Amino acid sequence: MSDLAKDDGAVAAGSGEKKLGLSALVALVIGSMIGGGVFSLPQNFALVASPGALIVGWVITGIGMLCLAFIYQNLSARCPHLEGGIYSYARAGFGDFIGFQAAWGYWFSAWLGNVSYAVLLFSAVSFFFPVFGDGNNLASIIGASIVLWLVHTLVLRGVREAAWINTILTVIKVLVLIIFIIAVFIAFRLGVLTADFWGRMMQVDGTHPDLFNQVKSTMLVTTWVFIGIEGATVVSARAANRRDIGKATVVGLLGALAIYVLVSVLSMGILDQATLAGLKNPSMAGVLESVVGPWGAKFVAGGVVLSVAGALLAWTLFASELPKVAAQDGVFPEIFAHENHRQSPSVSLWITNGLVQLFLLLALFYQAGYQVLFSIATAAILPPYLFSAAYGLKLVWTREHYKPGEKLARDWVISIIATVYGFWLCFAAGNSMLLSSLLFIPGAIVYVWKKKHSQQRCFNGMEACVLIALILVAVYTLVQIFAGAISIT
């Protein structure tokens, strides 16, 4: 945390705003990626793949995500004027409409995801206090609401102050995971890992799954655990040094990737695959309990609480910051652009957390309705990753922001792999990706209203084609829903 102290004196031009140093940016990246999902990885992977397939899947995922991280590093260095990161890249590369939809989908998924984090938080707390049940009863919603507005107050006091608290929580939850890794490493048994290394004895629906399908299944799991890799780019305007944005993205990714791989692979050397697959989530609790005894389960449960609390704070920052930047760019409604005297995105924060509070109540009184909306919004956060990678590829193609004679071979490889992986992320989301089209249609209505209000042209030719395609996909999705082919529960 030394750079946080070093950057205390960094001041935004004319505003007195203290900026974020490298460690704070790294903590935002790791803190947003590592939420509650990591604690369920042993069971999630054992359910679909053998150890060998898992390792192959991690290699492929690691290459794809590392290339995506390099894309963000490259874009942050070459386009420092784009302060909205993941949203700004979509807009710069493909126009206002695509940029708006990227911001709309990212924002919607971010704050609705915070509803899930709040529910998960008290589901984990119930391990110590059973009154909270599954995290969606009255006691849990009251507790979650209190936490929500405490986080709200913290962010209102300033983004840097909130980022500092997030750094502390991130360090603590990483220490919890490191302790788990050390414990299972000591107890690791190679024979357990290699007993059915390629899954030849594993049966799913009476068949022997081939390696390809096992690897594909692991990558469906890994699709979601890296959401948040773009965290440093979202708050890029708050960075003390723009070069730190790319560094934080790569360092954060490598740290999270190492933790994910070690947690999932080492667990398969503790319990056999069938036992892991039958564990109750968070399955890390069952793994550590088998190594050190009952206190291990409580230790992991405490880690879940701290991890989810940190993720809730990080995503509150992202969900309020991105609409503010989009509004300052004239893409989102102007009301989101307002900041308070501490340079916190106050109006965006009030709107965002107001919606979170509303949906916490919905989760209490109308669970089915909340689940429907969550299904629709789940995958809406993925297209911005594809747009970012595609923008990186576009820059290499056009040589924009490149010096004459600059070598492009490395960037060609990275941008092609990242773009292909971006397509894969959207494809792997399956029906969730189709459902998200239902979210982008209301976004298009807001976009048209904003353009009309500003007396600007709504669509160019390409954007009109995108809108028509979006409408067709949404209509097809509705038909599939009513036919029972796509479930929204």
- Considering Cα of 313, then 319, then 320, then 322, what sign does the dihedral take? positive
C-alpha pair distances (Å), 192 with each of 52, 57, 208: 12, 19, 20
Q: For residue 201, what pLDDT is reported?
A: 64
Residue 473 has pLDDT above 90, yes or no: yes
Average pLDDT of every residue of the chain:
89
Output DSSP code: residue 19: P
Taking the C-alpha atoms of residue 86 and residue 231, their distance in angstroms, rounded to an integer, is: 9
Q: What is the CA radius of gyration of the chain?
A: 22
C-alpha pair distances (Å), 20 with each of 10, 120, 152, 274: 8, 29, 19, 45
Which two three-digit tokens encode residue 395?
């820059």
Three-class SS state of 270: coil
Residue-wise pLDDT for 30-75, tens only, equals 999 998 889 999 999 999 899 999 999 999 999 999 999 999 999 9
> Where residue 317 falls among pLDDT bands split at 50, 70, 90?
very high
Q: Is 119 exposed, middle or buried (0-12, 13-18, 19+ CB in 10 A)?
A: buried
Q: Other C-beta atoms within 10 Å of 154: how many?
A: 19
C-alpha pair distances (Å), 234 with each of 68, 331, 373, 456, 473: 15, 16, 24, 26, 29
What is the pTM (predicted TM-score) of this model?
0.90
Residue-wise pLDDT for 330-373, tens only, equals 889 999 999 998 889 999 999 999 999 999 998 888 876 666 77
* Mean of pLDDT values over 12-27: 74
Helix (H) or strand (E) holding 399: none
Say if residues 470 and 440 touch (Cβ distance below 8 Å). Answer: yes
Say if residues 93 and 391 touch (Cβ distance below 8 Å). Answer: yes
Residue with tokens 């909340």: 370
Residue with tokens 């082919």: 485
Taking the C-alpha atoms of residue 253 and residue 354, their distance in angstroms, rounded to an integer, is: 31
Q: For residue 136, what pLDDT is reported?
A: 84
Say if residues 142 and 121 touch (Cβ distance below 8 Å). Answer: no
Please name the residues in contact with 216: beta carbons below 8 A apart, sequence gap of 6 or more: none
Residue-wise pLDDT for 400-441, tens only, equals 999 998 999 999 999 999 999 999 989 888 888 999 999 999
Say if residues 212 and 320 touch (Cβ distance below 8 Å). Answer: no
Nearest Cα neighbor of 149 from 355, 357, 320, 365 is 357
Helix (H) or strand (E) holding 123: helix 96-125
Q: Which residues on neighbouring strands pair with residue 20, listed in sequence order?
A: 239
Taking the C-alpha atoms of residue 155 and residue 160, their distance in angstroms, rounded to an integer, is: 8
Say if residues 166 and 306 touch (Cβ distance below 8 Å). Answer: no
The string over 15-51, giving b where at least 16 C-beta atoms fall within 10 Å of a residue's C-beta and e elsewhere, is: eebbbbbbbbbbbbbbbbbbbbbbbbbbbbbbbbbbb
Residue 303 has pLDDT above 90, yes or no: yes
Three-class SS state of 204: strand
Residue 6 has pLDDT above 80, yes or no: no
Q: Other C-beta atoms within 10 Å of 157: how many?
A: 14
Q: For residue 181, what pLDDT is reported?
A: 97
Taking the C-alpha atoms of residue 222 and residue 67, their distance in angstroms, rounded to an integer, is: 15
